[in-house]
Amino acid sequence: MKSAGITVILVGIAVAGFSGYEGLKWLEKRNQPTSADVTQQVDNVRAEATQKHPGLSQTDAMKRVAAAKAADTMRETAPGQRSRVAAEAVFGAYFMNTRVRPAHCRQLGVEITGFGAAYERIHAEEFAKAKAIYAEQGRSPEEFATLLGPAMQRMVEQDMRDIAQVRGMSPAKTCSAFNDNADAFARAIQLPAAIREALMAS
């Protein structure tokens, strides 16, 4: 179960990287990174993960790189901006698991509404906190969903391929497993510790 959906957080971290590593330039200019920028960030993480952890599946290798980048991002982000960065990571995970993953499985003829509902329920506290942070800034999570779309689709496809390979299942049966074990998969998808700490501390 450890591979289940772990890379979802990379989308949020990819965007967070612009603020953490680029000194909040896009905030200062009121110009968010484009969807292509986010996709490039994720591709960079994928390449780094392949180089550093050649013996792992791509999903698990990216998980390790993502956890390190999450800690670096939070350490290098100004204290007053950490909750916003954490909220973006939450939205990346939320939209991927309640929209993109179900859409992916639907294309394979499998509905995983049970998993989507379990993810919403189990991570309700984190999502509510992230929404409150955005509301204070007069922003909507929906603007984030548009930005992340292409990167999320690619990551879900890779994640599901890895899980299918580990479990020796077809792609469609892997989707069914998400629905049949909805709570277990939803609980396996966790924020890196540094991200959750920043989120809940606000």
Residue 92 forms part of a structural domain: yes
pLDDT, residue 27, reads: 37
Residue 142's pLDDT band (cuts 50, 70, 90): confident
Q: Based on the structure, what is the number of domains in the chain?
A: 1
Is the pLDDT score of 104 beyond 60? Answer: yes
pLDDT mean over 131-159: 78
Residues 35-40: what's their mean pLDDT?
A: 66
Q: How far apart are the first and last CA of the chain?
A: 31
What pLDDT, on the 0 to 100 scale, is given for residue 38?
62
Q: Which two tokens stand for residue 173?
A: 């049966």
Q: What is the pLDDT of residue 125?
A: 94
Mean pLDDT across 38-65:
79
- The SS3 call for residue 36 is helix
Displacement of CA 36 from its chain's centroid (Å): 16
Q: What is the pLDDT of residue 139?
A: 77
Q: What range defines the domain where residue 168 resides?
A: 8-201
Are 97 and 5 contacting, i.e. CB atoms less than 8 angstroms apart? yes
Instruction: Indicate whether 2 belongs to any domain.
Output: no
Which region among 17-21, 43-47, 186-190 has the lowest average model confidence (pLDDT)? 17-21
Domain-located, residue 180: yes
| Six token digits for residue 91 | 């939205």
- Alpha carbon distance 135, 200 (integer Å): 16
Q: What is the rounded distance in angstroms from the CA atom of residue 136 to the CA atom of residue 108?
A: 39
Could you tell me the pLDDT band of residue 1, with boundaries at 50, 70 and 90? very low
Task: Tell me if 77 is assigned to some domain.
Answer: yes
Which of 29-33, 127-131, 152-156 reaches the highest mean pLDDT?
Answer: 127-131
Alpha-carbon gap, residue 151 to 142, rounded angstroms = 16
Average pLDDT, the chain: 77
Q: Does 3 reside within a domain? A: no
Q: Which pLDDT score is estimated for 55?
A: 86
Where would I find the H helices in 29-100? Answer: 35-52, 58-76, 82-95
Residue 1 covered by a domain:
no
- 64 lies in a domain? yes
Question: Which pLDDT score, from 0 to 100, does residue 4 have?
Answer: 36
